[in-house]
Amino acid sequence: MKEKLIDLFEYTFHFNSEMIKIIAENIENVDEKTISLINHTLNAQQIWNSRILKENSFEVWQINPFETLQEINRNNFKKSIEIVHHFDPDQKINYQNSRGANFENTVFEMLFQAINHSTYHRGQINSLLKKDGIDPILTDYIFYKR
């Protein structure tokens, strides 16, 4: 299972990076919602990692300086891989959500949430790019694997 999670985080890292690049190349034509969603996508992975690692986290909707997004993406990837290597996927983690409610999930569930969440928002970003006259990028997993 660890190899599959690593593969999915490599996929996530790759297409988050591609999204950041296409936004950067068209920064004058993208709207605030696109910027908000790419930040939120990266923030969410950082938050899930930090819940597992018991570290300080970003705010869910914080806007980071655009020039730091690739670095945040790299750091997220490294931390996610560190978790895959050092945590039992069935280990339960207690954490609080952004509203202060307490929850418990397994490491696997939390990691899969980070992967799935980013896929969902990349789809939204692609829709916004298309609306703004920018060719969206194919981010399907199967295209990544070909």
Q: Which residues are annotated as a binding site?
A: 40, 117, 121
Binding region for a divalent metal cation: 40, 117, 121
Please name the amino acid found at residue 68.
T
Whether the CB-CB separation of 86 and 97 falls below 8 Å is answered with no
Whether the CB-CB separation of 8 and 14 falls below 8 Å is answered with no
Q: Which of 128, 6, 140, 16 is nearest to 72 (CA)?
A: 16
